[in-house]
Every structure is written in structure tokens, then in C-alpha cells.
Amino acid sequence: MDAQVVLITGSSRGFGAAAARLIASRGHTVVATMRNPGRDSAAVTVGFEDRIHAARLDVTVPAEIEAVVAATLSTHGRIDVLINNAGYGLYGPAELGTEEQLWRQLDTNVFGAWRMMKAVLPDMRHRGRGKIVNVTSLSGRIVAPMLAHYAATKFALEALSEGLRFEVGALGVQVCSVEPGMYASDWQTSSLEVVDGVAGGPYDALVGERIDGFQRLAGTRPGSASVAAALADIVDLAQPLPMRWPVGYEATRDIGIRASRSDEEWDSLRRSGALGPWRRPLHPDPPAPAEHDWSTGNVVLITGASRGFGAEAARELARRGNTVVATMRSPERDAAAVVAGFEDLIHPVRLDVTVPAEVTAVVASTIDRHGRIDALINNAGYGLWGPIEALSEEELRRQFDTNFLGQWRMVHAVAPHLRAQRWGKIVNVSSLSGRMPSPMLAPYAASKHAVEALTEGLREELVAWGVSATALEPGMYASDWQTAGLDVCEEIRTGRSPYTAATRRALDGFRRLAATRPGSDAVAAAIADIVQLHQPPPLRWPVGEDCVRMLRDRARHTDDDWERLMRSQGWGLAAGDVDNNRTKEVAGSAASA
């Protein structure tokens, strides 16, 4: 194979450093980026000074990304392969941590990879060739206790990768997720960051015990050679890249088992010990929840209750005799229609879930007024439409701030109260997109994939206090955000993107289809059913024939078969769908201006 120009992030040590050296040994040119080349580059480049070029890069700084990509293109003429490896792990209970810790984890593991993809895609598209390799993790497919924050970022990156694959695969750009299992990598042994709020709290002893066992086990695992070999093989491979590339014993074993089993079957396997001690439940024999009559009279806090699923659920819960605190950003505009006929049971409250102080105040006032919260329904969210390359920093951040961080903020505020009373239910409204990414909705899917990981972690960790967590997964309904309220990224709205014409056609078809779907009644009924169910609710609750059918079909297909099937049905872009000249025209206009 001809020598390739390979750009790798996070190359100071671990997978990135080993891959840089192995790829260079095969005759390729490597731009090995790292945050501190003055300290780390010598060990990486030694013996390959003519092929490995160290560069300073922090993937959380957009200007540094632009500079590194521009310098690489100027010096080497092209970028053939991008390997998004930069990342780190955050350890601890899903309900704990700080805003800063969660944003920093997202900023590196998800947004950093997205920034790199966005920066290299124009050159790859113009050349009609290129490879984008996102190093995700076994945790991008399977959630382990105390690793839900990290898993949420890797679930999200899996969704971005799959969405991008459908968007650019026919344009000559290949996208692949590499999924390492447990290795004796730096972050798994010595650099694992623990979330704030553990010390002196209810999880303190448990976290100490688990992290000690986790790091001891990681220390017995192989080094980075297998992952480096997989990345080097991807660079060399002449055949089309697969959608996913698991690496290591746990990844190749557990991912296949998990994908082919129901949640209940997976739980049973874990409890049996068949998957080893690392996969055993966090709480093998949790105590029963405290006595609570779920049949009626529950105090339910719902976010995003101004319209759609939230409004209908509030009314259905009230119809069944429950007290509902229905939060919305503009109660003066929206509350009257929601509470009409249930003025004694539905209490509208102003709340923007992206404002931490408002979240804290609403939870405190609900408990002060009603004495408790029995169920939290995390429903606030919206959809962002547009190809990955056309998104802006602000748009992607806002999507995660509402759909993922908004749910986490509510859990962070409510979970301590639920634990104290030793009963409670958390229902996180996810989506079919939380399990199945689609092109043009990849940012939304990524945020919902993160919600799925968060929910699974919460369920495992909170069961010891009688609290359940369920991800509600609606399919396509004629809800507000899927029709009139769908947010379209600015580059598409203004026609500045080379993807504009194809994206607008796809958007028209999406909206027409959404308008033919049922309304929100079934989703509202499912939410009310979960609240009133006396049996422990399941981890996931799909709603709608399309959701149930497509999830069943997805489980029956390999990645390759699924991709062929969906492309045959019109998913993804075709070779002629992108106007590469538009990018040049816009750039020229900007230069002349």
C-alpha cells in the first residue's frame, strides 16, 4: 500500500503512542498530536524522527485543531487517515459529579472527536477518499457500574460515527469505530479521575472497593500492542472498513453477547458469573424498596411539559389521580392548555433544565409543597437536524446541554431525596434514536445514546435504595419537535453547506412522514403506566410499532447487513448529493470580503 499521512490525537502515551510508532514502522507518515510535546514527544518519535512529527494539540481548543489540520495539509498535502484517540475516563456514581467534570469529559471524548472530523472532512470529500477512525470503547456498547459518565461519552461517539458513516460513506470517506476492551492503559490504571461528591457520602466505601478492584484488574491486562495493531491494520487495509472493530478478549466476547441478548437475559448472565467477576452486578442482592402504593396519588415531577409527550403525560397522570408538577420554560404562554380541567392536580412551574439554579429551586419547592417526589420524568429535549460536518460548536453544545446534561441535572437534584425515602422511579425519555442512529439526526442520536448509558448506570447503582431507572424509547410520533419544532442547523438554513440540497430533501421527507404518525397518547400512557406499575419497571420501554420492529430487526442483522439494508431504503447520502463547489465558493466569498 502507498505511504499514508495519518493524523492521530492523544499520542503522548497508551494507544496513541503505540499506534504512532507501529504505523510509522510500516512506512507511513504520522502527525502525532499531544498536549505537551515538550515533555512527551521524544519517547514517541525516537527511532522514527523522519516519519513521526509531534504537534501540540488540545482537542478542546478549536483554534488549535484548525491550526494543526491546516499545517498538516500545508506540509504533507493531504490527510489520508484521522485517528481520534484523545480521551479519558471519569469514575463514580452516575448521579454524582460536577457540571465542570461532565462538560470536560464531553468536551474531550465527544466534542473533541467531532471537531477533528469537521476539520478534516472538507479535504477528504474533495479528494473523494479518506478514513476516519474513532477510538470508542467496550464502554461505548456496554455500561459498567461507576463508569456511566465515561460510557455516556463513548455511546455518544458511537452514534456520531454511525451517523457520519451513512452521511459520507458514498462520498469516498470511510468511518469506523475501534472498540478496545480492558487494557493496561494509562487512564485505566493510574489516571482515572473520580467524580466529586463521593467522599463521606453513601457511595464512599463502595467506590473505594470497586475502583481498587478495577485498577488491579486493569493492571493485569495486556498493554497497548493489540489496539495499536488494529489501528495500523486499518490504515493499511485496502478493503472497505467495517462499521465497528472490537479489540481484545472482553470486547470481542461481551459486545456480541450483549447485542444478541435482551436486558433481562444479559442481567441473568451477569448474575450467574458466566461473564466473570468484573461483570457481576454492583448490588447482587438489593433490599426490597420501602412500601409505597403506586396505584394513585403519586407526586410526579415532569420536565418539558408545555406540549407533546410531556403535556399529554401530565394530563394522563392527573386523569389517573396523581399530583403533577409540570415544568416548562414559558408557563405564562403554555400552562393554561396543559392544566385545563385538572387545576387541582397539575401545578405548572417555570424551569429551564439548562440552568442549574432553576433545577435546584424547582426540586426544593416541590418537596417543600408536596412533601416528597415519587417519580421524575425527564422529558425535556429537542431534535437537531443536519449533517455532522455542518454543525456549529454552539448547536452541538446546546443539544447535549438540554437532552443529556438537563436530565443529569434533574437526577443529581432528585436522586438524594429518592434514596432517603427508599423508593422512587426515574424515567428518562430517550428515543429510538438512542439505540439506532440515523443520518442527519446524528447529534440528536448521540445525546440520546448518552441518556441510555446514564440510565443504565443509574439503574444499577440506585437499586440498593429501592429506586429504579427506565429509558423510555418512543419511535416516530407527530410530536412538536419532529414536525414544527425541529431545529435545523444554521448552515443548512442559510444554504451555506455543501450538503444543503440533499439535507433539505431529507428534511422534507422526514417531516412529511412524521405528520402521518400517531399523536402523543401512546407515549403519555406508557409514562403513566411506568409510574403506576407495582412491579419493578424494565430498564428499557420501547413505544410504537416502528420502534419495536426496528429494534428487533437491528438485533437480527450484522452491521454490514444492516448498512446494506438501510442504504437500499434510502438512508444516507449518495455520491452526487454533496456540492463540493459550494465550499469553494463560500470560502472565496469570505476571502474577498
pLDDT number for residue 589: 36
Taking the C-alpha atoms of residue 272 and residue 268, their distance in angstroms, rounded to an integer, is 6
pLDDT number for residue 497: 94
Taking the C-alpha atoms of residue 383 and residue 514, their distance in angstroms, rounded to an integer, is 13
Instruction: Name the fold adopted by 5-247.
Output: Rossmann fold (3.40.50)
> Is residue 574 packed enough to be buried (19+ CB in 10 Å), middle (13-18) or exposed (0-12)?
exposed
Residues forming a β-bridge with 174: 131
- Over 80: is that where the pLDDT of 591 sits? no
Taking the C-alpha atoms of residue 45 and residue 579, their distance in angstroms, rounded to an integer, is 39
pLDDT number for residue 513: 85
Mean pLDDT along residues 225-244? 97
- Concerning whether 444 is annotated as a catalytic residue, the answer is yes
| pLDDT mean across residues, the chain | 93
Taking the C-alpha atoms of residue 196 and residue 127, their distance in angstroms, rounded to an integer, is 46
| Contact (Cβ atoms closer than 8 angstroms) between residue 412 and residue 346 | no
- Over 70: is that where the pLDDT of 584 sits? no
pLDDT number for residue 210: 86
- Show the cell assigned to 69: 489540520
- Over 80: is that where the pLDDT of 593 sits? no
Q: Is 424 left (phi over 0), alpha (psi -120 to 50) or beta?
A: left
pLDDT range class, residue 204, cuts 50, 70, 90: very high
Residue in 335, 551, 575 with CA at minimum distance from that of residue 433: 551
DSSP letter for each residue of 208-237:
HHHHHHHHHHHHTS--SHHHHHHHHHHHH-
User: What's the predicted TM-score (pTM) here?
Assistant: 0.96
CB atoms near residue 539 (< 10 Å)? 20
Instruction: Sketch the domain layout of the chain as residue ranges.
Output: 5-247, 299-489+519-555
For 60-106, how does the pLDDT look when each residue is reduced to its tens digit (9 = 90+)? 999 999 999 999 999 999 999 999 999 999 999 999 999 999 999 99
For 537-580, how does the pLDDT look when each residue is reduced to its tens digit (9 = 90+)? 999 999 999 999 999 999 999 999 999 999 999 889 988 899 88
pLDDT range class, residue 583, cuts 50, 70, 90: low
- Over 70: is that where the pLDDT of 485 sits? no
pLDDT number for residue 586: 40
Identify the residue whose cell numbers are 507511513.
28
How does strand 346-350 pair with strand 323-328? parallel
| Contact (Cβ atoms closer than 8 angstroms) between residue 488 and residue 462 | no
Domains 5-247 and 299-489+519-555 agree in fold? yes
Q: Which of 201-210, 230-239, 347-356 has the lowest mean pLDDT?
A: 201-210
Instruction: Report the top-level CATH class of 299-489+519-555.
Output: alpha beta
For 411-440, how does the pLDDT look when each residue is reduced to its tens digit (9 = 90+)? 999 999 999 999 999 999 999 999 999 999
CA dihedral 223, 184, 152, 94 (to 10 degrees): 170
pLDDT number for residue 483: 61
In this prediction, what percent of the chain has a pLDDT beyond 70?
A: 96
Count of all residues that appear for the chain in the document: 593
88, 444, 477, 499: the catalytic one is: 444
- Over 70: is that where the pLDDT of 217 sits? yes
pLDDT range class, residue 443, cuts 50, 70, 90: very high
pLDDT number for residue 15: 95
Residues forming a β-bridge with 517: none
pLDDT number for residue 297: 97
- Over 90: is that where the pLDDT of 191 sits? no
For 125-167, how does the pLDDT look when each residue is reduced to its tens digit (9 = 90+)? 999 999 999 999 999 999 999 999 999 999 999 999 999 999 9
For 297-318, how does the pLDDT look when each residue is reduced to its tens digit (9 = 90+)? 999 999 999 999 999 999 999 9
- Over 60: is that where the pLDDT of 588 sits? no
Provide the 8-state DSSP code for 575: G
Q: Which residue blocks in 26-77 are alpha helix, DSSP H?
A: 37-45, 62-76
pLDDT number for residue 587: 38
